[in-house]
Amino acid sequence: MSQDGNNVPRRRFLTAAGTAAATAALAGCSGGGEDTTTESGETTGEGETDQTEQTEDDGSAQVLRYGRGSHSPTLDFQNSTSGEVAKVTEQLYDTLINFEPGQSTLTQGLATEYSLEGQSASITLREGVTFHNGEEFTAEDFVATYRRFVDSDYEYYAGDDYVSAYGPFTLGSWIDEIQVDGDYSMTIQLTQSYAPFLRNLAMFAAAVHSLAAIEEYGTDLSSNPVGTGPFQLSNLDDANELIRLEANPDYWGEVPKVDEVVFVTIGQNSTRAQSLASGELDIIDGLGAQSSVQVENASNASLVRTEGINIGYMAFNMASREEFRDRRVRQAVSHAINTEAIVNEIYSGFATQASQPLPPNVLGHNDDIDPYPYDPEEAQRLLEEAGYGDGFSFELATFQNPRGYNPSPIQTAETVASNLGDVGIEVDINQQSFGPFLEYTAQGRHDACFLGWYTDNADPDNFMYVLLHPQVEEGELTEGQDWVSFEAEGYNTSNRSAWANREYMDLVEQGQSTYDEAERESLYNEANQIAHDEAPWVYLDYADELRGVSNRVSGFQIAAISGPYLNLVSLN
C-alpha cells in the first residue's frame, strides 16, 4: 500500500497455473443492553426457555450449550465482521497461524513453519489435513480462499455486496503475489513491509475455505460451511436462532472432548444468566452488571473474568452532520457525557473509562492521556464558541442486544441523551437489532452510533488503521477538511465516523511499515494523542471479558483474542 492511504492497490496473484491482476472491493464493518430484547426485536420471555429445551439430547451424547445475546446471520467468515459470527466459525475453520489459547503469542495452525522478513513471508503448510468434505488441504485452498475474498477478476469472487471490510485490511491491501511451491509451501510477497502480517494470518477472517466447496457452493457457503476445524455443522436453525455443531473425529489437532456444541440465542441478559443457573446452559457471554451478579450468586456456576482487549465508543458521522465537522462540537459532546458514571454505575466496574482508540494492554497506548472529564460548563462554552449555543438535535443509532464493550446499550443511550439534553442537544435514540444495525451504520445512514471492537490480533494497527483510517486514494480527500464521504471509492466502512485526518493517517501508515517496536510505540503514542484531541469518537470504555461457566465445565479457557476454544472443554 502506498503512503497516501490507497486501499485498493494493484495486486498480482501467482499460482502454479499463472498470474492474474486484480483489484479489491468491499462492504461491511464490526462491531447490546442489560435486559433488553432478542435479536429479532421481540421481547424476551417463555420462547427463550423453549429454545434451550430444544437442545436437549437423549442422554447418550455430551452436549455443550453456549448461550449468547445474538444469532449469527452467516457462517461464512468472509461475509461478516461480527464477533457473533466469529464465535461459531472459529469452531468450524482453521487459520494458518493460531493464537495460544488465552494469550497473544502466535503458534502453529495449518502452517507448521512461518517467517516474515522485509516484504516476504515464507509459509510451510501442515500435511495430512482434510476438510469436512473429505478433500485434502493444500496451498491451492488458501490461494482460492484469498482470491474469493479480494480478487474481483476471480471466477469465484464472492461479490462486492457479499465480502466484508476484512478483505482489504487483513490480506488484500498487503499481498502483492502468492507463489505456490508444491502442495505445502508458499511464498507471499507483500506490497510493503507490513508489521502485523503474521498476526493477520491468525485472524478469524483469514481462515481457509475448501477450494472444492468454493466451487460447489459459492456464496451459499454462508449456510454450508466446509472447514478443517474441530467441529462441523450439524444443524442451522435460523428460525429458532440455534446452531448445532458436531465433533470432527478426524481433526488434525486436539479432538473435541464433547460430542456436540449448541449455540443458543437468548437476548435478555438476566434470562441467559438464569438459564445458566438452572443448568440449561453451560457457558454464557455478553454479561452486564445485573446478570454478572446473578452468575456470581449461582450455586452451580462461576463468573470468569480477564482483562479484555477492546474498546466501546460513540462515533460521530462527519459525512452526515455538519455540526460534527467542528472539532469543538465533538469535544463539547465528549465533555457533556458522563462516561465515568456509565462505566461505574451502568457497567458496575466491569470496565474502565476510555481515553483513546487503543486499549491499555496494546503496544502504543499513550499512558499520558486522560479521559475527557465530565464538564457540562466546558461543553456549553465550546458549543457557544462553535456557534451552537442554542443546541441542535441528532439521531443516535444503537444495537439492542448486549455486547461485551457495551453490555447495556439502551440504558447507555438513555444516559447519553439525558446528559446531552442538559447542554441543549436533543438526541433521538434509534434502536435496532444487531444485524440490521451493522448494515445501517455501514451505509453511513446514522448521525452518530454506538459501536465497539474486539481485537483480532492484539496489534495496534487492528484498531488505529482498521477503525479510523478511511483507506481511500489521495484524490478522494478534499483539501482543508478532515472527513470523507462514505461514497468515496474504496472507503473503509469500519471507519463509522468518516474521519480523515492526514497527520493521523501518516503516523498510522508509518506504524504499519516498521518492524522496530520502539519506533512503532512512539508513532502510535502520537497518533493516539491526535485521536484524543480531535475526538472523532466519544471514548466510552475498555471492558473486561466476562463469561458465566457452569461448574460441570472443565478446561474452558477465557480468551481476549480468538476463541472460544470449545474443543478443549469437557463436561463432568
C-alpha cell at 43: 421481547
pLDDT at residue 402, rounded to an integer: 78
Residues 274 and 288 in one domain: yes
CATH no. for residue 285?
A: 3.40.190.10
Q: Give domain status of residue 37, yes or no.
A: no
- Domain end, chosen from 219, 244, 271, is at 219
Contact 559, 204 (CB under 8 A): no
CA distance 572 to 565: 17
Q: Give domain status of residue 77, yes or no.
A: yes
Residues 364 and 288 in one domain: no
| pTM of the complete model | 0.81
Residues 244 and 145 in one domain: no
How much is the average pLDDT of 102-115? 95
CA-based nearest residue to 396, from 352, 423, 435, 432: 432
Residue with cell 461475509: 79
Confidence of residue 59 (pLDDT cuts 50, 70, 90): low
Task: Write the CA distances from 561 to 91, 98, 309, 351, 457, integer angstroms.
Answer: 14, 10, 8, 17, 7
Residues 380 and 517 in one domain: yes
Instruction: Please enumerate in sequence order all residues whose Cβ is within 8 A of that of 230, keeping only pairs 6 or more positions apart, or say none.
Output: 91, 247, 248, 251, 253, 254, 255, 256, 566, 567
C-alpha cell at 430: 434509534
- Domain end, chosen from 219, 250, 284, is at 219
Residues 57 and 164 in one domain: no
- The model's pLDDT over 562-571, given as tens digits with 9 standing for 90+, comes to 999 999 999 9
Q: Give domain status of residue 178, yes or no.
A: yes
Within 10 angstroms of residue 494's Cβ, the number of other Cβ atoms is 25
CA distance 529 to 527: 5
Confidence of residue 404 (pLDDT cuts 50, 70, 90): confident
CA distance 104 to 93: 19
Residues 537 and 554 in one domain: no
Q: Which of 45-54, 195-204, 271-280, 432-441 has the lowest mean pLDDT?
A: 45-54
CA-based nearest residue to 523, from 452, 461, 455: 461
Residue with cell 494523542: 529
Q: Give domain status of residue 161, yes or no.
A: yes
Q: Domain tally for the chain?
A: 3
Q: Give domain status of residue 277, yes or no.
A: yes
How much is the average pLDDT of 156-183? 93
Residues 422 and 519 in one domain: yes
Q: Give domain status of residue 2, yes or no.
A: no
CATH no. for residue 331?
A: 3.10.105.10
Pairwise pLDDT comparison (26 vs 486), residue with the higher score: 486
Residue 107, exposed/middle/buried by CB under 10 A (0-12, 13-18, 19+)?
exposed
Host domain of residue 562:
46-91+223-304+547-571
Task: Write the CA distances from 95 to 126, 177, 211, 319, integer angstroms.
Answer: 11, 19, 15, 36
CA distance 67 to 73: 16
Residue with cell 490461494: 143
Q: Give domain status of residue 342, yes or no.
A: yes
The overall average pLDDT reported for the chain is 89
Residues 115 and 131 in one domain: yes
Residues 512 and 396 in one domain: yes
Residues 379 and 476 in one domain: yes
- The model's pLDDT over 218-258, given as tens digits with 9 standing for 90+, comes to 999 999 999 999 999 999 999 999 999 999 999 999 999 99
CA-based nearest residue to 40, from 238, 237, 275: 238
Which H or E run includes 414? helix 409-421
| Dihedral (CA of 314, 318, 322, 324) sign | positive
Confidence of residue 25 (pLDDT cuts 50, 70, 90): very low
Which H or E run includes 86? helix 83-92
pLDDT at residue 58, rounded to an integer: 53
Residues 138 and 279 in one domain: no
Contact 450, 189 (CB under 8 A): no
CA distance 412 to 417: 9
The DSSP result for 198-247, as a single string, is HHHTTSGGG----HHHHHHHGGGGGTS---SSSEEEEEEETTTTEEEEEE
Q: Give domain status of residue 281, yes or no.
A: yes
Within 10 angstroms of residue 176's Cβ, the number of other Cβ atoms is 17
Is the N-terminal amide bond of 564 cis, ω within 30° of 0?
yes
- The model's pLDDT over 343-357, given as tens digits with 9 standing for 90+, comes to 999 998 889 999 999
C-alpha cell at 335: 465533555
CATH no. for residue 171?
A: 3.90.76.10
Give the Cα-Cα-Cα angle 412, 406, 277 (nearest 5 degrees): 110
C-alpha cell at 459: 496489534
Which residues on adjacent β-strands are paired with residue 311? 453
CA distance 281 to 272: 8
Residue 276, exposed/middle/buried by CB under 10 A (0-12, 13-18, 19+)?
buried
Pairwise pLDDT comparison (15 vs 518), residue with the higher score: 518
Contact 449, 397 (CB under 8 A): yes
> How far does Cα 130 stand from its chain's mean position?
28
| Dihedral (CA of 356, 362, 367, 371) sign | positive
- The model's pLDDT over 472-521, given as tens digits with 9 standing for 90+, comes to 998 999 999 999 999 999 899 999 999 999 999 999 999 999 999 999 99
- Domain end, chosen from 219, 234, 252, is at 219
Residues 131 and 243 in one domain: no
Is the N-terminal amide bond of 402 cis, ω within 30° of 0?
no
